[in-house]
Structure 1
Amino acid sequence: MSAWHTARATWVTADEQDIEFVVRDRLPDWGLTRRSRRIAAQQLTERDVSVEEIAELIGVTPRTVYRWRAEGFQEAAA
């Protein structure tokens, strides 16, 4: 199995404890899985956190956060 296939498997998993640290304690975590980042971004958005701060906390660009908001965080719920 290639490295890409191995990494892709982790895109659909989410570690609730890691998400909680980011959302509740506002501790940056750039090691979140793709799904965990979207969930954390959604929860931070619901708490009225700025796009810039969300991007900084989860290790993505502000543009990514804006895109996820426009998509309605659909992947996070999946």
Structure 2
Amino acid sequence: MSAQALGPILDGLGTTIELDDGDLVASALVICKIVDKDGTVSLGLSTSEGLSWIDQNGLLTSAQQIANQVTISTKDDE
């Protein structure tokens, strides 16, 4: 196993974020599903340099709250 830069991997997955002019991404927490060559699934977690565990927990908790607010529509809703 070796450390790999996430930029090219995330680019390949088509990930984007909407930012206004002048916005600055100050820190990042990346959570990913990893499937190894045998099909075993694991969870990957990477943080930007200097992100404390307190900030990491805050980002994770906030993201979970936002994800829980998303309304999922089904075909029956149309």
TM-score when normalising by structure 2: 0.25
Say which one has the larger Rg. 2
TM-score when normalising by structure 1: 0.25
Higher strand proportion (structure 1 or 2) = 2
Higher helix proportion (structure 1 or 2) = 1
